[in-house]
Structures are given as structure tokens and as C-alpha cells.
Amino acid sequence: MRQTIVLAAFLAMSVTVGAGQSWTGRISDSICKAKHEETAEGAGAMADRDCTVACVRGGSKYVLVADGKVLQIANQSYADLPKFAGQDVTVSGELNGETLTLTKIESAKR
């Protein structure tokens, strides 16, 4: 019986670790973070999406702003980042310190 419980606990932990974690926040850039006022290219205030895209084009990196924290995104070449720039999203992945490696990104459920 004890071996069955230990095996069940091990399997449950394996499934949880493999599934990763998820966060809901906004895709932004490392210069503006939560507040878009002026782009890296020197343009004035603009829509969050346009500002994020312009800042990344100017050398900034994509980030996820979630619960007041700015999480760096490790895999900057993730294909859907430009598509969701400036939008509220739910992402899945692995967090190591303050750096997130994305495995999935989708529009946040409202």
C-alpha cells in the first residue's frame, strides 16, 4: 500500500512539472514595461501594440508584465510575440528567477 501511495505521488509530481505554469499579463517591451509614453525610436505616445513593436524594432526586448512584475522572456524569437504585442495574454512556460521561457501564448480570457 505504501509503495502505491509513493508511486502515485511521484506520478502526480511528474505530470505537474511537465505541464509548466501559466501567467496572465500584457506583452510589452523592456524599455516601456507597463507604461508606454515614448518609443525607443523617439516617437511620442502611441497605442500599446504600436509602441511595443516600435521599441522592439529599436532594440528593446519583449517582456510580460503580470501582477506588477516585469518578467523577461528568454525565447525572444517565439513566433507569436509580435502578434500579441501590447495585448493581454495568458502564457504558459517555465520561470527561472525573473526569466520566462514561453511554450504557449493566447489571448487572455475575459
3-state secondary structure of 80: coil
The total number of residues written for the chain in this structure: 110
3-state secondary structure of 44: coil
Mean residue pLDDT of the chain comes to: 83
What are the structural domains of the chain?
A: 20-107 (2.40.50)
Q: Decide if pLDDT at 1 tops 80.
A: no
What is the CB neighbour count within 10 angstroms for residue 95?
Answer: 14
Residue range 18-54, pLDDT digits in tens: 457 999 999 999 999 988 775 555 556 678 999 999 9
- Hey, what's the torsion of the CAs at 30, 76, 51, 110, to 10 degrees? -100
